[in-house]
């Protein structure tokens, strides 16, 4: 099993551009999460999903949208990227208490 | 939002020494998890705790779920160079849809 995978691994955007980060899990987990990690801030929850077709806001949802059309995939979208969204983004899945993380996407917004 | 106070922020130790770190909160948690993150990687689950007072080991790692349910401790015995990394505690509140609240991490450096 691959576990939790994320694409892309790295991305550089210009301010105002849009992009989608893809998270996939092959563990048949119901719950999926998107976090961002910034120096000195730890991991902060952006959005999460408790099952296919559901999404909910986390601690820092502004500027992001998500979709969970298939149980195994959780997409994170940035409609108009801002420099404040420069960060490392992690996806996780769980069934239900223990969360397993992907390798991360390092995003830089210029 | 909820906050976890994790300490120490960083530790620099000699190989072979034992290490202790802890997390405290003003809230009661029903699950405590401990993760390790290597540079450039995602966090990896080390130990999960589900009951107050529970003591669980994973090799040289031992973690405890505090009796008050507001704290947790992680000990590493006989540290080795590959223990280097950032250790995070995380807690789950009852009724939170299994969302985790993370501490800010303890950076561990082991001098060979």
Rounded distance, CA A97 to CA A45, Å?
15
Q: Do A59 and B44 touch (CB under 8 A)?
A: no
B16: closest CA of chain A, how far (Å): 28
Quick check: B2 pLDDT over 70?
A: no
Mean pLDDT of the B6-27 span: 95
Tell me the CA end-to-end span of chain A in Å, nearest whole number.
36
Quick check: B109 pLDDT over 80?
A: yes
Q: What is the share, in percent, of chain A residues with pLDDT greater than 90?
A: 92
Neighboring chain A residues of B41 at a CB cutoff of 8 Å: 103-104
Mean pLDDT of the A86-90 span: 97
pLDDT in tens, A27-74: 999 999 999 999 877 899 999 999 999 999 999 999 999 999 999 999
pLDDT value of residue B1? 54
Q: Which residues of B80-98 are buried (b: 16+ CB within 10 A; e: fewer)?
A: eeebebbbbbbbbbeeeeb
Phi, psi (degrees; rounded to nearest 5) at A36: -120, 150
pLDDT in tens, B24-43: 999 999 999 999 999 999 99
For B43, which of A45, A97, A101 is closest by C-beta distance? Answer: A101
Mean pLDDT of the B56-82 span: 96
Quick check: A21 pLDDT over 60?
A: yes
Mean pLDDT of the A12-35 span: 96
Quick check: A25 pLDDT over 60?
A: yes
């Amino acid at each position: 099993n691959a576990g939790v995978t994320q694409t892309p691994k790295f991305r550089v955007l210009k301010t105002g551009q849009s992009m989608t980060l893809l998270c996939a899990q092959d563990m048949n987990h119901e719950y999926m999460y998107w976090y961002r990690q910034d120096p000195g801030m730890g991991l902060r929850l952006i959005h999460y999903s408790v099952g296919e077709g559901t999404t909910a806001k986390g601690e820092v949802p502004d500027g992001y949208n998500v979709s969970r059309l298939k149980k195994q995939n959780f997409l994170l979208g940035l409609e108009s990227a801002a420099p404040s969204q420069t960060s490392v983004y992690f996806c996780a899945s769980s069934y239900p208490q223990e969360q397993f993380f992907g390798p991360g996407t390092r995003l830089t917004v210029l | 939002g909820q906050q976890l106070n994790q300490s120490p922020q960083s530790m620099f130790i000699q190989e072979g020494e034992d290490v202790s770190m802890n997390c405290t909160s003003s809230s009661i948690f029903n699950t405590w998890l401990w993760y390790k993150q290597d540079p450039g990687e995602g966090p990896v689950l080390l130990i999960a705790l589900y009951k107050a007072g529970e003591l669980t080991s994973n090799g040289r790692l031992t973690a405890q779920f505090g009796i008050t349910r507001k704290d947790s401790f992680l000990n590493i015995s006989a540290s080795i160079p590959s223990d280097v990394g950032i250790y995070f505690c995380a807690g789950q509140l009852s009724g939170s849809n299994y969302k985790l609240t993370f501490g800010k991490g303890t950076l561990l450096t082991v001098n060979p």
